[in-house]
Structure formats: structure tokens, C-alpha cells
Amino acid sequence: MTRLTRLRDAVHGLPAGWLLAPAVLLLVGLFVYPTLEIAKLSLFDPGFTTQHFARFFGTPVYLRVFLHTGQISLVVALGCFVLGYPAAYFIVRMPPRWRPYVLFLILVPLWMSILIRNYAWMVVLGRTGLINSLLLGLGLTAEPLKMLFTTEAVYLAMIQILLPIMILTCYGVMVEIDQGLLRAARGLGATPARAFLAVFVPLSLSGVATGGIIVFMLSMGFFITPALLGGRRDMMMANLISYQVSTTLNWGFAAAIALVLLVSTVAAVLLFRAVVRTPAVGLR
């Protein structure tokens, strides 16, 4: 009996629960333990206190940052859906031999650093950037437009960065939908638009829900994009945490903000799951 055979027999002899042990240990070490440490740091400074949370919820400027973060995340998730859903549907409808090439082009931006992509947007949106140079050269504007360091620049860059995730998530669900169902609906007298809305859309909602949740969660923790492309009023929760850690050195308050960000994100995701309750949603 070879060593590989003995190892295989030993694995088969283990209870099924033990096979989950590596994943559980990884989850505890990389998520549960750090989260508990953050909670401890925010509640014990040095003794038990809730002053950090009282300061956060009692200061209007911090609440504005919190609400602004949620607003940006929602707009970015909605923008990714508006652009990503038709793109995914277009890829599904094209001949199968062309799909790998289009998916490759969608994946290319994900291989680039987010920092590089943000600097690229600074070059494009700057006063002497590509867009302003083109507008001035064509005589469409008399002076450069202010596009950089605005909320719109943050929206644009974040949607561009996260759009591939929405496209791939929706595509992964759409490609599994039986096109025969649409033909059957057409055979029963439905118009193409009616067949699409009544058959295809409900079956693809799981991809929309999954992509929307992923984009929203990633947006809530964005740091580089609002720091480089946004203005003074575009600070997000991650930027506020960084400021408390690097400038004021208030680790307890920074931990409290991080805990509020985590809890609010999880609560928003659970609320979204409660609202979007369809048989096609595979997030349960």
C-alpha cells in the first residue's frame, strides 16, 4: 500500500465534520478573531466604555460620512446593475465561440491595480486631461471643466472598477438559463419583450442579487478612490478610519467606526435578502 493510498483511506475514515476544519480555522483566524479584537478595542479603552460609539452617533459630521458612504455604495451598485445586466445579456446572446474573447476583455481590468486605475482616471478627468483637451480642441468649451475631485468622479471610477464583477456574476447565472423556455413562451403567444420580462428576468435575479450585494459590500469599504478622486465632502468610512489611525492616533475610536461599518454593511445585506425573496435567488 502506497503512502498516497494510506492517506486517502485515512481521509475517508474521518467524520465529515472534520473535513471542514481547515475552512473553519481559516475563518476564525482571518475574520472572527480580528473582529473580536476590534470589538474589544472599541469597548475597552482601557475599561469598559461606550464613549466611542456615543461620540460617533452624537457628532453630525460623522453621521454625514456614514450616510454618504451608504449613498455612494447604493448608487454604485445601481450603476453597475444598469450597465452590467445588459452587457451580460449581450454576451449570453452572442455566438459561443466569441464569448471567451469578450470575457477576457472584461477580466483584463481586474488584473490591474486599483491604484493604477485611479491614477488613470486622474489623467483622464484632470484640467489638462484627455477629456478637457478634447473639448477645448473642438471648441466646445471655453475653459476646462471641473471633473476631478468631485462626487461624480468617485461614482464614475468606482463603477468602472466594480462593473466587471457585476457582469461576470450576472453572466454566470444567465448562461445557465435554458433558452428553450423563451422559445416555449414565444410559442404560447408571448411577444419577445413579454417572454424576456416574464421568463428570463426572474430566472436571472439570483445573479443580480449576488452581484449587487458584492458590489455594495466592496463599495462600503472603498478607500483609494474617494481619497484620490473625491473632494473634501467625499470622505467615506474607510477614509475616516484611516484618519483616526494615522493622524489622531485614536485607535479605540477607529475600531468603533470599523465595527459600525461592519455591522451596518451586514445589516444592509440581510435587509436586501429579506426584500429580494424569489425562488431564483441563490443566497440563502
Q: What are the pLDDT digits (tens) for 145-169?
A: 888 889 999 999 999 999 999 999 9
pLDDT above 60: residue 10 = no
pLDDT band at 278 (very low <50, low <70, confident <90, very high): very low
Question: What is the residue-averaged pLDDT of the chain?
Answer: 86
Cβ neighbours of 135 (radius 10 Å): 15
State residue 3's pLDDT score: 63
Q: What is the mean pLDDT of residues 196-213?
A: 89
Q: What is the mean pLDDT of residues 206-224?
A: 91
Domains and CATH numbers, the chain: 51-275 (1.10.3720.10)
State residue 284's pLDDT score: 35
Q: What is the mean pLDDT of residues 39-54?
A: 87
pLDDT above 50: residue 52 = yes
State residue 14's pLDDT score: 59
Q: What is the mean pLDDT of residues 91-105?
A: 91
State residue 4's pLDDT score: 57
d(CA 155, CA 163): 12
Beta carbons of 180 and 49 less than 8 angstroms apart: no
State residue 146's pLDDT score: 87
Residues 44, 46, 47, 50, CA torsion sign: negative
Between 8 and 233, where is the model more confident? 233
pLDDT tens, 175-194?
Answer: 988 888 888 888 888 888 88
Which residue, among 161, 164, 167, 132, has the nearest Cα to 146 in the 3D structure? 132
Does the bond joining 192 to the residue before it have cis omega, within 30 degrees of 0?
Answer: no
Q: What is the mean pLDDT of residues 67-78?
A: 94
Q: What is the mean pLDDT of residues 84-105?
A: 92
State residue 281's pLDDT score: 38
pLDDT above 50: residue 123 = yes
pLDDT above 50: residue 114 = yes
pLDDT above 50: residue 15 = yes
pLDDT band at 282 (very low <50, low <70, confident <90, very high): very low
Q: What is the mean pLDDT of residues 70-95?
A: 94
Beta carbons of 259 and 42 less than 8 angstroms apart: yes
Lowest mean pLDDT among 1-10, 36-45, 85-94, 163-172: 1-10
